Amino acid sequence: MDEADRQLLRRCRVRLVRELQVASLWDVLLSRQLFTPAMIEDIQHAGSGSRSDQARQLVIDLETRGSQALPLFISCLEDTDQDALASFLRMSRQAQKQNPEATGPLKPTPGKLSPVVLGPEQLWPAKLRPEVLRPEVPRPVDSGSGRFSDVCAQEISKQNPDLAYALNADPCGHCLIVNNVNFCLESNLMARTGSNIDCEKLQQRFRLLHFTVEVKCDLKAKQMVQALVELARRDHSGLDCCVVVVLSHGCQASHRQFPGAVYGTDGCPVSIEKIVNIFNGASCPSLGGKPKLFFIQACGGEQKDHGFEVACASPEDRTSGSDPESDAAPFQEGLGPFDQPDAVSSLPTPSDIFVSYSTFPGFVSWRDTKRGSWYVETLDGVFEQWAHSEDLQTLLLRVANAVSQKGIYKQIPGYFNFLRKKLFFKM
């Protein structure tokens, strides 16, 4: 769907959600192949399953259904006697085509520079796509003080159960790695060459950190959810922690709690919110009060960050000697389920959760086809060098600082932290 139709749908969303009669649309949408049966089923179960929730999800998902999705949808409305909405959309679309400046994006102010987004073909050879680490980039080095007082404070924190989680079990927990490399043709998503390198690094790293590691490759969206639910249903009572790693294409997504979504190999998205909530205190009681860590290597959107000039930027960080690819995919909105009322418990339902993103929401995440992603290579290097002495948040700050200094295009990892204590890995 082109940007004009996408913007039109968003401007009309309030009225569509208010008036759209979805029950009569399902068969027509299927017959015109606007949606697959699985997609229709997901829309029907959106949110609380109410008409308005289904209508909202239908309008949101319609943006992903190709260049002719809007005119086909208007025809579906006419076929189901929703002529007022059909006429409203058709006239709005015609008016937009006749006067695109009235509803289009704002023009840049004269005299000011505006960013120009270049397509992959303009930046690299045809085989390349935007996510890459340059071979000459060294592993991150220590930027801390190394003072005796720092070491003492860390040791005190580790040994104080009021300040740090106790990771004493061996193994200390399960680690599930979902590694999606090859995507079906219909998804229009490219193979994620180099992701197996990321997977091998993380598999070895978390084993060294005393986790039992399980790897699942090339899962469709429903298979991803099933694998996560199966992990959450295990008995974690004798364990101290749980780790989930997702390596896949991703996209921007509206959210109530955690932004973004990752793609199954069938091209269907799974929201980060849904993934995290499978393991919250209400859904996974045997992990109650224990840290649940999520590491997401995927694009948060399609924007490419050109960065800004700083005096200390080193020349070697301005060029790239590798073939960059990204895990970007089109914007998806409203992918997550609505919140359900929390059960009464001794801790907040979403507590003890830590979600680490490879990139800022809305931006691409870079991956080298020969060395793996910037984020995972840096994460592995930082953990190797500092996990014996520093807590998780400090480690991820090192990762963010190192990744932010790479490449022509820029990338900044970040995290959502709902841990109640510091977390030091078992060494």
> Could you list the active site residues?
249, 299
Query: In which residue are the tokens 């080193």 written?
Result: 314
What is the Cα–Cα distance from 231 to 174, expressed in whole angstroms?
8
Burial of 380 (0-12, 13-18, 19+ CB in 10 A): buried
| Phi, psi (rounded to 5 degrees) for 196 | -65, -30
Provide the angle, in degrees to the nearest 10, between the axes of the packed helices 374-386 and 195-208: 20
Which amino acid does the sequence have at 24? Answer: S
Could you tell me how many residues make up the chain?
Answer: 427
The maximal CA–CA distance of the chain, rounded, in angstroms, is 76
Which residues make beta-bridge pairs with 247? 179, 297
Residue holding tokens 């000697």? 321
User: Could you tell me if 386 and 170 are in contact, meaning their C-beta atoms sit under 8 angstroms apart?
Assistant: no
Among 125, 115, 179, which residue's Cα sits nearest to residue 327?
Answer: 179
* CA distance readout (Å), 184 to 112, 178, 265, 322, 414: 43, 16, 6, 26, 30
Tokens of 378: 């840096």
Q: What tokens does 373 get?
A: 């992603």
